[in-house]
C-alpha cells in the first residue's frame, strides 16, 4: 500500500492534572490512579514526510526545546508511535519525523505523549485511516498519557490513568507553569510516596515530623490514608466554570513526595503564591509546578516573577481546556 499524501502534519496538546490521587500498588506493579486531565493550549506539532531515498526513518526536532535531551532513535515517542502503528496495521511507510516542540521536556506536562498522539493521528491519516479501537489500543500500549493526548479536553482517568471518561467543563482556566532546574524521576517519586505512607501508617507523620513544609502554598498535605482525597470538588468547580473554586479544590497526592526529594519545589510554589497565584500545584510527579491564575494579565505578572526565581528553568503561560489531537495539513503528491 502506498501513502495517500507526501506529508501529513498533526498537532496534540500538553496537559496538567488538576487532580491526582494515587491509590494502592496493583499486581502489575503500577499504582491505581484517579486523575483529572486538562489539555492546555501549549502544543506539539508533528510532521511525517514520506521518505523515498531508501532510509527507514529520521527524527528532527525544532522549536524552543529542540536542544533538550530527547532521543532521535526508535525510543523517541513520536517515532515509536509510527513504528507501533505500522506494525499493528501491517502498513510500512518510511517517514521523516519532525517535531516542533513547544511543551517543556520531562516536565510532567505530557509532551512526549502529545508527540506520540500527534504521530499516531498523522500516520493513520497518511495510510488512509485506522479503526478507532485499534488506534486506542496502540495509544494505550505507548503510554498511560497517550490516550488522553488523543482525546484532549477535560477527562477523568482511572486505572493506569488511561481509562477515560469526559468531564463537563465550563470556562477557561489560566495556568502558569514553572519547570525546574532540578530533576525528579517518576519511579523515585512513587517510591518516596510509598515510603511516606508506610511511615504514616506506623504513626510517624512526615508532614508534621520530618518532610519540609510547603510554606505559604495553601497546598495542604492530604496524602494520609486517614483523610482520603476526593475528586468531587474538582469536578464540581469545573462544571461551574469557577477558577476560584478549582483553586480551592486542586489536589495532588504526589506533592509531599516531590517536595521531600526536591525541596526547591516548595520554594517555587511559595514564590508563585506570594506573587498572587490562586493556587500552586505540583504537575504530575513534578518537578514542574503549575499555578492557577485569575486571568492573562495576572499570568504575565506571575510569569515575570517566577522567571527570576531560584530553581526555575522555563516559564510557560497557557490556558485550558484545549482540543485533542488534530490534523493540520496534508500535502498531496506533486
Ligand atoms: P508525562 O507527563 O507524560 O509523564 P513528561 O512531560 O514528564 O511526561 P516528556 O517530556 O514526555 O515528560 O519526556 C520524558 C522523557 O521521555 C524525556 O526525558 C525523554 O528522554 C523521553 N522522550 C522520548 N521521546 C520524547 C519526545 N518525543 N519528546 C520528549 N521526550 C521524549
Binding residues: 104-114
How far is it, in rounded angstroms, from Cα 155 to Cα 14?
Answer: 14
Is residue 284 lining ligand 1, measured as CB closer than 6 Å? yes
Inform me whether the pLDDT recorded for 94 exceeds 50.
yes
- At residue 209, the pLDDT reads 52
Q: Boundaries of CATH 3.30.230.10 in the chain?
A: 7-167+322-331
Name the maximum alpha-carbon separation found in the chain. 71
User: In this structure, are residues 15 and 38 in contact, taking their beta carbons and an 8 Å threshold?
Assistant: yes
User: Among 10-24, 204-218, 309-323, which is the least confidently predicted range?
Assistant: 204-218
- 173-320 to CATH, choices 3.40.250.10, 1.10.1060.10, 3.20.20.105, 3.30.70.890: 3.30.70.890
Query: Could you tell me the distance, in angstroms and rounded to a whole number, from the CA of residue 292 to the centre of ligand 1?
Result: 23
Q: Check if the beta carbon of residue 44 is closer than 8 Å to that of residue 114.
A: yes
Q: Give the per-residue pLDDT at 227.
A: 56
Residue limits of CATH 3.30.70.890 in the chain = 173-320
Which residues are identified as catalytic?
15, 145
Least confident of 116-120, 148-152, 220-224, 318-322: 220-224
CA of 207 from ligand 1 middle (Å) equals 30
Binding residues for ATP: 104-114
Q: Tell me: pLDDT of 223 over 60.
A: no
Q: Is the pLDDT of residue 161 over 90?
A: no
Q: Atom 21 of ligand 1 has which residue's CA nearest to it?
A: 70
Measure CA 103 to chain center: 9
**Which CATH architecture best describes the domain 7-167+322-331?**
2-Layer Sandwich (3.30)
Q: What's the pLDDT band for 108 if we cut at 50, 70, 90?
A: confident
Quick check: 215 pLDDT over 60?
A: no
Ligand 1: nearest atom to the Cα of 80? 24
Q: What number is the average pLDDT over the span 111-140? A: 97
**Averaged pLDDT, 258-286:** 96
Residue 112 alpha carbon to ligand 1 centre in Å: 4
Residue 111, ligand 1, Cβ within 6 A: yes
Calpha distance 319→126 (Å, rounded):
30
Bond into 206 cis (ω within 30): no
* In the block, residue with C-alpha cell 480551592: 248
Residue 218: per-residue pLDDT: 46
Amino acid at each position: 500500500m502506498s501513502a495517500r499524501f507526501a506529508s501529513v502534519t498533526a498537532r496534540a496538546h500538553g496537559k496538567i492534572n488538576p487532580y491526582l490521587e494515587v491509590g494502592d500498588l496493583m499486581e502489575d506493579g503500577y499504582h491505581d490512579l484517579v486523575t483529572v486531565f486538562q489539555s492546555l493550549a501549549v502544543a506539539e506539532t508533528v510532521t511525517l514526510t514520506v521518505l523515498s531515498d531508501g532510509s527507514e526513518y529520521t527524527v528532527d526536532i525544532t522549536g524552543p526545546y529542540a536542544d533538550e535531551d530527547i532521543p532521535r532513535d526508535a525510543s523517541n515517542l513520536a517515532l515509536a508511535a509510527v513504528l507501533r502503528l505500522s506494525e499493528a496495521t501491517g502498513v510500512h511507510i518510511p517517514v521523516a519525523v519532525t517535531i516542533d516542540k513547544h511543551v517543556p521536556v520531562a516536565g510532567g506536562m505530557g509532551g512526549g505523549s502529545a508527540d506520540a498522539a500527534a504521530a499516531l493521528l498523522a500516520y493513520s491519516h497518511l495510510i488512509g485511516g485506522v479503526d478507532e479501537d485499534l488506534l486506542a489500543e496502540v495509544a494505550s500500549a505507548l503510554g498511560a498519557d497517550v490516550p488522553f493526548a488523543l482525546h484532549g479536553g477535560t477527562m477523568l482517568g482511572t486505572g493506569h490513568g488511561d481509562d477515560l471518561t469526559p468531564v463537563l467543563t465550563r470556562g477557561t482556566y489560566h495556568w502558569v507553569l514553572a519547570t525546574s532546574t532540578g530533576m525528579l524521576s517518576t519511579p523515585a517519586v512513587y517510591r518516596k510516596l510509598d515510603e511516606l505512607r508506610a511511615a504514616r501508617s506506623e504513626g510517624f507523620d512526615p508532614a508534621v515530623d520530618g518532610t519540609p513544609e510547603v510554606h505559604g502554598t495553601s497546598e495542604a498535605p492530604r496524602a494520609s490514608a486517614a483523610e482520603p482525597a476526593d475528586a468531587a470538588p474538582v469536578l464540581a468547580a469545573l462544571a461551574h466554570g469557577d477558577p476560584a473554586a478549582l483553586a480551592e479544590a486542586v489536589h495532588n497526592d504526589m506533592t509531599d513526595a516531590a517536595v521531600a526529594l526536591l525541596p526547591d519545589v516548595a520554594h517555587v510554589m511559595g514564590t508563585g503564591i506570594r506573587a498572587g497565584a490562586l493556587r500552586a500545584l505540583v504537575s504530575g510527579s513534578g518537578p514542574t509546578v503549575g499555578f492557577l491564575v485569575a486571568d492573562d494579565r495576572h499570568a504575565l505578572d506571575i510569569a515575570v516573577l517566577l522567571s527570576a526565581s531560584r530553581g526555575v528553568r522555563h516559564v510557560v503561560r497557557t490556558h485550558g481546556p484545549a482540543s485533542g489531537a488534530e490534523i493540520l495539513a496534508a500535502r498531496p503528491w506533486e
